Structure 1
Amino acid sequence: MKIGCPQEIKPQEYRVGITPNAAREAVAHGHQVLIETDAGLGSGFPDADYVAAGATIVDTAETVFAEADMIVKVKEPQRVERARLREGQVLFTYLHLAPDPAQTKDLLASGATCIAYETVTDSRGGLPLLAPMSEVAGRLAPQVGAWTLQKANGGRGVLLGGVPGVGPARVVVIGGGVVGINAARVAAGMGADVTVLDRSIPRLSYLDDLFHGRLKTSYASKGNTAELVAEADLVIGAVLVPGAAAPKLVSRAQLSTMKPGAAIVDVAIDQGGCFETSHATTHDEPIYEVDGIMHYCVANMPGAVARTSTIALGNATMPFMLALADKGWRQACKDDPHLLAGLNTHAGRLTCPAVGEALGMEVLAAEEALAL
């Protein structure tokens, strides 16, 4: 199979879909790997690393899309990339279709078989291809939140860990999953007063045991959430409904209860965001203000630490990429129901129920799509 990897073109996206190590593995399996020139530079991988791994460097993204049987990326295809997809071609990348009807329409029109990292599952009910980026984004969230709180950026001028004689910032993390647990770990490590909200009592018990009293836990009722958000200096939104649009957990009306200059970091922005006032931003202009509250809503947070993120993502995606290349997408999905869960579109049909529910579109069962 010809596996193609174009350079990412989303603003300030420095990751790359295939590492030299992954390219070397694919070549060893008998596949041809096409890498757009300079695709890996943002992650610290020059073309020479790919050549040494046995990959072929091509001059343009158009060539990659035209020649490859499978396209491997990081971020959702941009409009110009979606126009290059064709029927029978496999796209393997993050898609986040639930809040993006325009992308969904274009992918369906292309007829391509699109498998989304974020809906591939595992035997424990986890999301193995989303987890590494959730870990990165979670650990980044307190860092960027602390920066957003600085007065020069419009924030309250509060130091997350405080100093002797001055109390620490109050940080509220909404969601105790992979993002939340990593955000809480770093925020607590920075000396903040951290509270994690979640609707799962077993999860709250786990967090309490894990952190040995270094943070607080609270059940995520509407009343508790409203009270804690009003008291917070920094709120980190870390909720996820796999494949679906994120629920809106903090309304615009609640912003008026927050302290002027308090900060919000919406890690769920890829799925539409969990604050009513959230809209996606970029690393170029990451912060905006609504009603005196500073919002950090960068849709590709892990891109800021591109090398770490690329290697972590490549480690997770490589076995699935090889299975798709070795067996073909159809047989690979037949053999692995967890990979089949990643199928979002095929031959002009939507195959992800959560996306269909979010967008009000008809869905064909993924199992039935295998027969098309």
Structure 2
Amino acid sequence: MAGLTGGIGSGKSAVSARLAERGAVLIDADRIAREVVAPGTPGLAEIVEAFSPRVLAADGSLDRAALGAVVFADEAARRRLEAITHPRVRARTAELAAAAAPDAVVVNDVPLLVEVGLVPTYHLVIVVETAVPIRLERLARDRGMDRAEAERRVAAQADDARRRAAADALLSNDGSLAELYTAVDALWHDRLLPYERNVRERRVARPRQVQLAEYDPTWPQQYARLAARIRHALGPTDLRIDHIGPTAVPGLAGRDVIDVQLTVPSLAEADGTIAHRLADAGFPRMPGEWWDDPRPAGSGRWEKRLHGSADPGRAVNLHVRVADSPGWRYALLMRDHLRADPGQRAAYLLFKQELAASAPDGADFPTIRDPWFDEEYLRAEEWAAQTGWRP
């Protein structure tokens, strides 16, 4: 399921309509929120019991303006209202999603998706972003809203930076409607359709060849979204999740693949419920056996499980390792050593650049890298001993 959001006046409704035209099953949170408090519903009855009949209109329906006046400036009252409505909205949303066809792309249109903390509950979050002056102009033109009211509505929602941090897919709507539709169509065909198929078939997306890239300052932010999604999928267990690999080292160039380490009590547990929940969340297990080469290089191997991303738009290596195992410790040690030592970061980058030039397809990577990584491992162990580092 994908979540769709955007600030008031951003054009989110145009995006949802276009996705519906393309075949998406749309679930409108605003519509559901009205349904669960319609006249005669238990939701409305509970609201009246909590806030008195003064929140009812003359025809027995909910007077939203009167209710808003009660809860707008009262945090406790607002939370009481949310405790009544949110569970009902979630239950109805789940019911509609379950009724969709097995191969449907379900899109949940939620205006306050970011504000109410729903980001980790979706496979993908789509944000429609439009410059504030354009939004204010649209609110005046299309809804007849005066400037002061429009500014108040915009200010009451999450700002662009907060929504952008939550976005797996960002659709800019500063241009024409035709341009927006072109972007939506590309998202539908290139990402949403294959993503749904990959999740259903428990298949890791096969990204195009990933080249060495300059450090992307959004990598930690992207990791945070992935980690929150994994944590939500595995709840209520509280397993440790870490950002590892080159993208976890500020300023270091690397392949545009987010490496995540999930710490488990045992690989047997990793093969059970954990694997199923990860696959459901869009992180299916990669087929075959996987292990880490021991450091220093020698006999034996460090066994692990490896999951990937079903999302063709975001390459992920999800390494599942046992707590306190050698491979688990090594991944954290290398990350922290490179973070702490600028000289080693520079040496590592030079090594990777030379490797990329000599073996651009990565075919010889495991054999070429052994001597360098053995030396780096010994340096990292010396650093750990000197600083008292612990994983």
Higher helix share: 2
Is the pair's TM-score, using the shorter chain for normalization, greater than 0.5? no
Q: Which bin holds the TM-score, normalised by the shorter protein?
A: under 0.3
Higher relative contact order at CA 8 Å, sep ≥6: structure 1 or structure 2?
Answer: 1
- TM-score normalized by the length of structure 1: 0.26
Structure with max Cα Rg: 2
- TM-score normalized by the length of structure 2: 0.25
